[in-house]
Amino acid sequence: MVQQDQDKVLADTERVVGRQALRNNVAAAVALADAVRSTLGPKGLDKLLVGSDGSSLVTNDGVTVLETAKVEHPTAKMLISTSRAQDDEVRDGTTTTVVLTAELLVNALELVDRGVHPTMIASGYRMCGPVIEQTLDEISIPTDDSASLSSVKTSLAGKGDVGLQIILSELAHAAASTTGSGETEHVRVLTERSGSIKDSKLVPGIVLIKARVHREMEMKPNAGRILILDGGMEKRKPEIEASLKITSLGAIDAFHTRDSADLQARVDALKAANIDCLVARDGIEEEAHAMLATAGILAYRRVERPEIEHLCRATGARPIFDVEDIQDEDVGHFTSIREEKWQGVEHTIFEGSQTQGVTVVIRGSTAMRLEEAQRAFDDALGVACQLIREPQLLPGGGATQIALARRLRRHAETIPGREQMAIEGFAAALESIPRILAENAGLNPIDELLRITAAQAENDSAWQGLDVNTGQASDMGKAAITEPLSVTRHAIAGATEAAISVLRIDDVLWAKQDAQEPDWQTDEG
């Protein structure tokens, strides 16, 4: 009975094994890479993405294209996950990761057809890791403020017009430099559908789309103490459900009087702690508004949790649950609080005592323009923060990939086994990046690849790369075409692991129905 059930499950399962499984997986990876290949580089083209609801989006951001596409193949989903990990970690190099993974798999399939076992190929690919790390450390250079800004501008090449690239890269660089933490979470981004992109600005503080709860409350132009309440300041409710029978006419007034006294006690506790501003995640009772204004306390209510986290970073405050349990270490400090009206809407600007809190206001005339600008800014900010954490630069224009390929080919000559062929295949995969850059710029990819390789050998410099604006091989440092070391390192490492994971798959089972637990009924006489 058990054997019959197992046979039935296998009979309802489509199975692809061996070389054919690898071919199918490689085909899926290549199809995915082809979808974003033309977006690579400053001369890359855009994609028009149309949703099922008829909405449209124009972008050349690789991870946006991949996440929007409807993908069913498991290998393609694996590559999209790798691209998403690259985007989450360093905010750039997503297209490079997918293209490089596909090239590694194509070269691996050629070796398999020539009789090299996938395990040997995977071993050869892993041997490339230490060589790549050593080479990247050798050719990278430390960055300064000007070079960092140039690298951020390079990351936006091909995304929007030149004016947008300059404005957003300068804003991202300034925001990252102001916080100095290398964390994108320390920068709050607001989009305003008004004006043009050139009206975007950096505000040294946290901007909330909020107005104070009572107009009689005075603003705080000078330094003060701020308390953040992870809750509300409302009348207390019974912890259990109960019904009360009122027998005296004064009982209701007594309840109201006691509630008012309780609110006043909490306001007095705030005043005793020298609190100048109260920010609550939930509501603040209407009756307490006048009490807080009389006590000289500025108050804001119904502030979302992400905004509270930004305020905590900017002021050094720690959220508490009860105003009657205030500890001095929970209190934050601000330098000023002011309100401004933008397009008829009140905005409050908190300038904190810490530098870990700034707001970038991005403006645009249309919703599509704002979406494009915000995606571009997020990428630029990610690169700028990466350079804060690891201030090392590599040459762009395909120079790094060609330098790595040259080094790997020399290293392959020292490997006696079949891994040598895998290392050469890895080098060839790296050369696909400058080839695609040239192709997307309308240049001959083979001629440009040979030209850059010759230029690096002739000048004995790994910084010779392709300047797609001139179509010539030139020094990427002088041309200010650079990229962060962390972006390239993460892209190569992610592509390598993804390719090896696919190579190790030799059996794909497509179940037409879920495997079910066998029925163990027996005949008992």
Asked if residue 365 and residue 345 are part of one domain, the reply reads no
475 an active-site residue?
A: no
Torsions phi, psi for 516 (to 5 deg)? -110, 155
Find residue 348's DSSP bridge partners.
Answer: 208, 339
Percent of the chain whose pLDDT exceeds 70: 90
Give domain status of residue 10, yes or no: no
Sequence letter at residue 444: N
Percent of the chain whose pLDDT exceeds 90: 60
Residue position matching structure tokens 């409302």: 234
Give domain status of residue 300, yes or no: yes
User: Cβ(400)–Cβ(136) under 8 Å?
Assistant: yes
Name the helix (H) or strand (E) containing 386: helix 367-389
Give domain status of residue 233, yes or no: yes
Find residue 473's DSSP bridge partners.
Answer: 466
Range of the domain at 174: 144-205+357-390
List, for residues 477-517, the tens digit of each pLDDT value.
999 999 999 999 999 999 999 999 999 888 776 655 444 44
144 an active-site residue?
A: no
Span 97-122, mean pLDDT?
Answer: 95
Alpha-carbon distances of 205 from 33, 171, 187, 213, rounded to whole Å: 41, 14, 9, 20
List, for residues 15-30, the tens digit of each pLDDT value.
677 688 889 899 999 9
Mean pLDDT of the chain: 87
95 an active-site residue?
A: yes
The answer for residues whose C-beta is within 8 angstroms of residue 170's C-beta and 6 or more apart is 149
Asked if residue 402 and residue 295 are part of one domain, the reply reads no
What is the per-residue pLDDT for 54? 78
Give domain status of residue 282, yes or no: yes
Asked if residue 222 and residue 165 are part of one domain, the reply reads no
More confident of the two residues 322 and 360: 360
Annotated active-site residue in 59, 64, 75, 94: 94
User: Using 50, 70 and 90 to split pLDDT, how confident is the model at 519?
Assistant: very low
List, for residues 178-191, the tens digit of each pLDDT value.
888 788 888 999 99
pTM beyond 0.75: yes
The answer for residues whose C-beta is within 8 angstroms of residue 521's C-beta and 6 or more apart is none
Report how far residue 383's alpha carbon sits from residue 147's, in angstroms, rounded to the nearest whole number: 12
Give domain status of residue 213, yes or no: yes
- Cα 155 from chain centre: 14
What is the per-residue pLDDT for 161? 82
Neighbours of 57 (CB within 10 A): 18
The answer for residues whose C-beta is within 8 angstroms of residue 420's C-beta and 6 or more apart is 124, 412, 413
List, for residues 456-480, the tens digit of each pLDDT value.
999 999 999 999 988 899 999 999 9
- Cα 232 from chain centre: 33
Span 381-395, mean pLDDT?
Answer: 93
Could you tell me the CATH number of the domain that includes residue 252?
Answer: 3.50.7.10
- Dihedral, CA of residue 28, residue 30, residue 31 and residue 37, to nearest 10: 150
User: Cβ(226)–Cβ(270) under 8 Å?
Assistant: no
What is the per-residue pLDDT for 11? 60
Annotated active-site residue in 39, 61, 315, 467: 61
The answer for residues whose C-beta is within 8 angstroms of residue 438's C-beta and 6 or more apart is 398, 444, 445, 447, 448, 449, 466, 468
List, for residues 323-345, the tens digit of each pLDDT value.
888 999 999 999 999 999 888 88
Span 208-227, mean pLDDT?
Answer: 93
Asked if residue 347 and residue 212 are part of one domain, the reply reads yes
Number of domains in the chain: 3
CB-neighbour burial class of residue 202 (10 A; exposed 0-12, middle 13-18, buried 19+): middle
Nearest alpha-carbon partner for 356 in 291, 321, 392, 310: 310
Q: Which two tokens stand for residue 112?
A: 């398999």
Sequence letter at residue 180: G
Asked if residue 223 and residue 192 are part of one domain, the reply reads no
Asked if residue 193 and residue 231 are part of one domain, the reply reads no
Report how far residue 41's alpha carbon sits from residue 443's, in angstroms, rounded to the nearest whole number: 13
Span 78-106, mean pLDDT?
Answer: 91
Q: Which two tokens stand for residue 299?
A: 């108050």
Helix (H, G, I), strand (E, B) or coil at 243: coil
Sequence letter at residue 429: A
Annotated active-site residue in 82, 95, 184, 482: 95
User: Cβ(423)–Cβ(127) under 8 Å?
Assistant: yes
Find residue 14's DSSP bridge partners.
Answer: 510
Give domain status of residue 8, yes or no: no
Helix (H, G, I), strand (E, B) or coil at 415: coil
User: Cβ(384)–Cβ(173) under 8 Å?
Assistant: yes
Report how far residue 248's alpha carbon sits from residue 253's, in angstroms, rounded to the nearest whole number: 10
What is the per-residue pLDDT for 51? 77
Could you tell me the CATH number of the domain that includes residue 186?
Answer: 3.30.260.10
Span 29-40, mean pLDDT?
Answer: 93
Span 304-318, mean pLDDT?
Answer: 91
- Dihedral, CA of residue 254, residue 260, residue 264 and residue 267, to nearest 10: 150
Asked if residue 496 and residue 419 are part of one domain, the reply reads yes
pLDDT of 2 above 70:
no
Report how far residue 323's alpha carbon sits from residue 277's, in angstroms, rounded to the nearest whole number: 12
What is the per-residue pLDDT for 384? 93
Report how far residue 487's alpha carbon sits from residue 485's, in angstroms, rounded to the nearest whole number: 6
Name the helix (H) or strand (E) containing 136: helix 118-139
Asked if residue 322 and residue 212 are part of one domain, the reply reads yes
Could you tell me the CATH number of the domain that includes residue 485?
Answer: 1.10.560.10
pLDDT of 237 above 80:
no
Helix (H, G, I), strand (E, B) or coil at 246: coil
Give domain status of residue 251, yes or no: yes
DSSP state string for 263-310? HHHHHHHHHHTT--EEEESS-B-HHHHHHHHHTT-EEE----HHHHHH
- Dihedral, CA of residue 39, residue 22, residue 71 and residue 41, to nearest 10: -10
230 an active-site residue?
A: no
Give domain status of residue 87, yes or no: yes
Residue position matching structure tokens 């650079």: 482
Asked if residue 270 and residue 295 are part of one domain, the reply reads yes
**Which range among 10-14, 109-113, 215-219, 448-452 shows the weakest confidence by mean pLDDT?**
10-14
More confident of the two residues 16 and 269: 269
Asked if residue 372 and residue 318 are part of one domain, the reply reads no
Annotated active-site residue in 92, 276, 378, 379: 379
Q: Where are the beta strands (DSSP E) in 109-219?
A: 141-142, 187-192, 201-203, 206-208
SS (H, E, C) 298-358: EEECCCCHHHHHHHHHHHCCCCECCCCCCCHHHCEEEEEEEEEEECCEEEEEEEECCCCCE
Asked if residue 406 and residue 382 are part of one domain, the reply reads no
β pairing state of 141-142 and 392-395: antiparallel
Asked if residue 211 and residue 97 are part of one domain, the reply reads no
